[in-house]
Amino acid sequence: MPEIKVINRYLWIIIISSLATYIFTWFFTETLPKSDMIDPIIFTEPTQEPTDAEPFIKEFEDKKYMIRPQYQYDIYGLIVSYQDLDEKWFNIYYENDPYNIKDLCIIWGDNVKDDDYTQVEYWSGTWTCYFRWYENKINFDHQKLSNNHILPDNPEVAQVLKNAKRGDQVHFEGYLVNYSILGNGGSERSSSITRTDTGNHACEVVYVKNFEIIQSYNNYWRLFNSLSFGLMLLAFGLKTYTFFFL
């Protein structure tokens, strides 16, 4: 039928153009803002205060966690890398320790007062954050970068946390904690309690009671990226339908 050929032609045009738009916009979904777009509150240094909070048990999925608060903690920062650990189907560690749903690598203070931080390459591994640069003179202080293992206090905090992406300016507060998983073979993890350490044990483990996105930078690019992907799937579905049923 001639009309089916016309429909198929338009569907192919939509699929190809949507795919091209998806690929193009993807490169802009997680760019970093320039320093003149940084909220001055991100210059604030993290605060860490003693706490008298008692250890408590938290259930998550089928695990029981013994949470031991060490300090009250409050931090503002710019997300430069992250890892949604609960979305990594190939993450063999998540099944055994599912409460740490996301890692956030953030910078703050003097690091965001000029544009040098945009010349640094950042990436996240499993429970790690790496960074490097190629220029000889970069104004960057590794003591104003931290990788945070996040344990959300409740589903509302978890949802806001899940929406946080690279380029977003955020604030969160709660406790630096040590924790263990109760039961046979349960893992343990301890938080760093200083911003000056390095290496495998330099990450903060944060039980987050409040999380807010102060400013989200790439919203429009993310919207176009999602819409183009959805349109591509819709057109592909219609193309499949016409192939089998018309």
Output the tens digit of pLDDT for each of the chain's 246 residues.
557 778 888 888 888 899 998 898 878 777 899 999 999 999 999 999 999 999 999 999 889 999 999 999 999 999 999 998 776 555 566 677 889 999 999 999 999 999 999 999 999 987 889 999 987 789 999 999 999 999 999 999 999 999 999 999 999 999 999 999 998 667 789 999 998 888 777 899 999 999 999 998 887 877 888 899 999 999 888 888 777 776
Question: Can you give the pLDDT at residue 1?
Answer: 54
What is the distance of C-alpha 127 from the center of its chain?
Answer: 12
Question: Can you give the pLDDT at residue 184?
Answer: 63
Dist. CA 99–CA 103, nearest whole Å: 11
Q: How many residues does the chain have?
A: 246
Dist. CA 218–CA 187, nearest whole Å: 37
H-run or E-run covering 156: helix 155-163
What 3 state SS string does the chain have? Answer: CHHHHHHHHHHHHHHHHHHHHHHHHHCCCCCCCCHHHCCHHHHCCCEEEECCCCCEEEEECCEEEEEEEEEEEEEEEEEEEEEEHHHCCCCCCCCCCCCCCEEEEEECHHHHCCHHHHHCEEEEECCEEEEECCCCCCCCCHHHEEEEEEEECCHHHHHHHHHCCCCCEEEEEEEEEEEEECCCCCCEECCCCCCCCCCCCCCEEEEEEEEEEEECCCHHHHHHHHHHHHHHHHHHHHHHHHHHHC
Q: Which amino acid is at 130?
A: Y
Q: What is the reported pTM?
A: 0.84
Question: Can you give the pLDDT at residue 118?
Answer: 95
CB 161 within 8 A of CB 102: yes
CB 215 within 8 A of CB 168: yes
Largest CA distance in the chain: 76
Dist. CA 213–CA 206, nearest whole Å: 17
Dist. CA 44–CA 33, nearest whole Å: 18
What are the domain boundaries of the chain? 2-28+223-245, 35-217
